[in-house]
Structure 1
Amino acid sequence: MAAFPREVARAAEAMRPLFAETPLQENDYLSRKTGARVFLKREDLTPVRSYKIRGAFNFFRKALASGAKGDGGAEVFVCASAGNHAQGFAFVCRQLGRKGVVFMPVTTPQQKIDKTRMFGGEAVEIRLVGDFFDDCYRAALDFAAQSGGLMVPPFDHKDIVEGQATIAHEIAAQLREGVVPDLMILPVGGGGLSAGVTRYLAETGAATRFAFAEPSGAPSLRSSLEAGRRVRLDKVDNFVDGAAVAEIGKENFRLLKHFEAGQVRLIPENRLCATMIEMLNVEGIVLEPAGALAIDALKDFSRKELKGKVVVLVISGGNFDFERLPDVKERALRFEGFKKYFIFRFPQRPGALRDFLSLLGPDDDIARFEYLKKSARNFGSVLIGIETKDARNFDVLRKRFEEAGWAYQDITDNETLAGFII
């Protein structure tokens, strides 16, 4: 066995006192939909509900084994994160009895702060600094330099990559002897997970094809592969917060740069929401947006491509804040075509609303009605949200609106305008 898989095996063995291996579950629902044998590697079932605990633990393990305690010898570890890395870091600090300081932006939701504090207990101090992550990260680096603390990166480090690769080690042991995945779909943020898993399987001789699932609003790996070098994105959509990374890790891109850009599937955020709702309603599985990326990527493969294949999907996390559920449901309805938003030029006269409502069918419902302004003396601009049970009903509605002489604009897919008024 090559050196890297041997080190990964040691890392996996060292983790077992902290938590059991996560299950690899064959999913009947997704298997029936695709014609493949679909297995889910359930990283949402670790003690911190994400795979980040693996890389954090391995970094600590290697640092402590080498005697490293920070530049000045202080026994303090430092991280900057508002999400899963902070929680994994905090859990490991408490389990190993090491002092940790977590830097989070002031804007971090209280739920994430509370969970990090719960996992870390007395071992972890949380400091809220800056409105944006970059400010928080700089503060963490400054603190580590001044205190002699050791910075624990979220993804861009060989020991983090090695720790995340334990997922592949477990998958290989959990599949029936002789069964090798034909296709593995990996979610991508900073690239630590995908770098570790692909390297492990390549060096153990597995003939597995890979696909990567990346948010459309944060295509750092796809953009870098297209350019042939690491690219820092000017703008990132933070909706998929667990994978919204502006630049792929340096070490991680070194391990991933031989892949083709076409192997990275860009996942539309609204479509991802539909997948999250589907898995919650059908399978009872609670997923954060990043945790649903690999499942959603199945939609980009034809049934012919997948039929009879063994497909493994890594489910990276389930830290979902249910306060986000209304937004997720809203996005899902818009993607599936069950909900649309219009701005109507509404006449200011008695009976106008009754005339408008008479055009709706039995399965159509007004979800929102709001006057925006009076466009003229006799007309006003009205925002109207309509939900329906069948997306085809909107074709009927448009025809009725036009025949009745209503002036309107469909703003459902106008992200700029919708972002301001919906």
Structure 2
Amino acid sequence: MPKSYIKRILDARIYDVATETPLQQMRQLSHRFNNRILLKREDLQPVFSFKIRGAYNKLLQLPPEQRARGVIAASAGNHAQGLALGAAQLGVRATIVMPKTTPLIKVNAVRMRGAEVVLHGDTFDEAAARARQLVEARGLVFVHPYDDPDVIAGQGTVAMEMLRQHPGELKAVFIPVGGGGLAAGMAAFIKYVRPETRVYGVEPEDAACLKAALAGGKRVRLPQVGLFADGVAVAEIGEETFRVLSETLDGVITVSTDEICAAIKDIFEDTRSIAEPAGAVGLAGLKKFTGQNGCRNAALATVCSGANLNFDRLRYISERTEIGEKREVVLAVRIPERPGSYLRFCRDLGDRAITEFNYRYASDEEAHIFVGLQVSADDDRQRLIGKLEVGGYGVTDLTDNEMAKLHIRHLVGGRVPGLRDEVVYRFEFPERPGALRTFLEHLAGRWNITLFHYRNHGAAYGRVLVGLQVAPAARSALLEVLQQLQFPFWDETENPAYACFLAN
């Protein structure tokens, strides 16, 4: 039962390395939403993440003979740094297996804390498999990042501090979920001490393994997960964490990439700190809950769970914040290809600020415009679209179209007369030398490449859009090749953004 965790959490002696972080009121956001919004600042830990709590607590619980053997973990981020720091504090030898795609800033951070780093594979699963091999080969003790009772108990100390720091009524707490260690520890403690407080897990829409497990009544493995919020990009919820969360959560909220980006901006504006995407997931869920439920004059809390962010990613995040706040709409608009059409269109827009405007001649009859416009809220977006449609314009709303925002806005006007049998796929390539060569070797020259667009986002993966000339009869063979490649991919051939700006 989850209540068995209460003594474990109360007995966790983690403060040799971890700190009691503040529970800070977000004054600007509280005013905006007419609630008291509280942020638990786990980004202020020595490793800029809550992970130090669980890792160190696990080390403390190991018998001396196991500590003497040394410990090992597979991690590309915060768990690696937490375990490395905790092991250094106790004089325990630590080995961390990290994917080769891990950004150098994280690799160096682990090495600086005295751990041995083994770089292996392109994905977490490949790194984890190597770590298991080293357990057998070297006799090391494996420290799981979330699916371990001692790790869960260590993370549960976040809730213990939160409830002590806010002794008054607390309507709801929103906790980011990846493998579920933080959520399980916090939910077990909160529901035992204050059962009236509602507890919600928050996941990215493209990595919602807990939501899928709760819907099916058992753990399921997602076929692929989005990597933007890499700290919570987990394909399958933990076994022990699922058992606890099944009994303690009041619900799961999923959030989009744009909503996460908007939450990163909110945290910056209130604290002048920059959260990593996973660190802002909980706040994105809190905002979504408040907007959907009309909650007012209540105390709501969440966790800024980490701040290990590559600086290069800020450019991409800033691009997406206005859409995440429902303050920008992205549209494909069809207007007549004749003199005066642009002027009429701009007049019909009124005094709205234009954030983006892309056009290139395509035919004698009709022009397609990729346009970004400022709006005040989601209902204002709908009014704008309705006004344009009444004015005789053909309008396609691309605000939630990932391909349009990642690629099409940079490719408008790229039509090729006479091109036939083109299919378009969107990929996430591992950000390492040789990824493109691997892709081309799998194709083996069987199909002509008609389009290739890549943008670096400062992450462990690259966003790539590829066009291929493939006859209908050969498309099943192409699909088999792409599945063998094991890069996440999406078929975008029927995407309306492609139809508007690239397809013939």
Same fold per superposition (TM over 0.5): yes
Distance in 2 (CA, whole Å) between partners of 1:365 and 1:35 is: 30
3-state DSSP of counterpart to 2:356 = strand
Partner of 2:401: 414
From 104, 109, 115, the counterpart of 1:115: 109
Matched, 1:19 2:18: yes
Partner of 1:168: 159
Residue type at the aligned position of 2:276: E
Deviation for aligned residue 1:384? 3.4
Distance in 2 (CA, whole Å) between partners of 1:412 and 1:295 is: 21
Distance in 2 (CA, whole Å) between partners of 1:254 and 1:98 is: 31
- Unaligned runs of at least 5 residues, structure 2: 410-504
From 87, 91, 104, the counterpart of 1:93: 87
Partner of 1:5: 6
Matched, 1:212 2:210: no
From 266, 272, 284, the counterpart of 2:260: 272
Distance in 1 (CA, whole Å) between partners of 2:401 and 2:362 is: 20
Alignment of 1:174-213 (within 5 A): 174-176=165-167, 179-204=168-193, 206-213=195-202
- Unaligned runs of at least 5 residues, structure 1: none
Q: 1:390 to 1:60 in 2, by over 3 A?
A: same
Q: Is the 8 A contact 1:77 1:101 kept in 2?
A: yes
Partner of 1:236: 225
Q: 1:128 to 1:352 in 2, by over 3 A?
A: farther
Q: Is the 8 A contact 1:34 1:303 kept in 2?
A: no
Q: Is the 8 A contact 1:343 1:411 kept in 2?
A: no
Alignment of 1:3-402 (within 5 A): 4-11=5-12, 14-63=13-62, 65=63, 67-69=65-67, 75-118=69-112, 120=113, 123-176=114-167, 179-204=168-193, 206-259=195-248, 263-299=251-287, 300-301=289-290, 306-335=295-324, 336-342=326-332, 363-365=352-354, 367=356, 369=358, 384-388=370-374, 392=380
Deviation for aligned residue 1:101? 1.6
Deviation for aligned residue 1:156? 0.5
Q: What whole-Å deviation, never above 9, does each CA across 1:119-172 have from its counterpart, x for those lacking one?
A: x1xx21222211222112111111222111111111011111111111122223
Paired positions, count: 403
Distance in 1 (CA, whole Å) between partners of 2:120 and 2:336 is: 48
3-state DSSP of counterpart to 2:332 = strand
Query: Percent of counterpart pairs with the same letter?
Result: 33
Compute the TM-score of the two structures, normalised by the length of structure 1. Answer: 0.82
Deviation for aligned residue 1:205? 5.8
Distance in 1 (CA, whole Å) between partners of 2:314 and 2:405 is: 19
Deviation for aligned residue 1:411? 3.6
Q: Is the 8 A contact 1:104 1:136 kept in 2?
A: yes
3-state DSSP of counterpart to 2:170 = coil
Q: 1:409 to 1:314 in 2, by over 3 A?
A: closer
Deviation for aligned residue 1:308? 4.3
Deviation for aligned residue 1:395? 6.1
- Structure with higher RCO (Cα < 8 A, 6+ apart): 1
Q: 1:250 to 1:359 in 2, by over 3 A?
A: same
Residue type at the aligned position of 1:334: I
Q: Is the 8 A contact 2:264 2:274 kept in 1?
A: yes
Q: Is the 8 A contact 2:335 2:394 kept in 1?
A: yes
Q: Is the 8 A contact 1:360 1:397 kept in 2?
A: no
Distance in 2 (CA, whole Å) between partners of 1:353 and 1:128 is: 54
Q: 1:216 to 1:75 in 2, by over 3 A?
A: same
Q: What whole-Å deviation, never above 9, does each CA across 1:179-220 have from its counterpart, x for those lacking one?
A: 353322221111111111122234446542212212111111
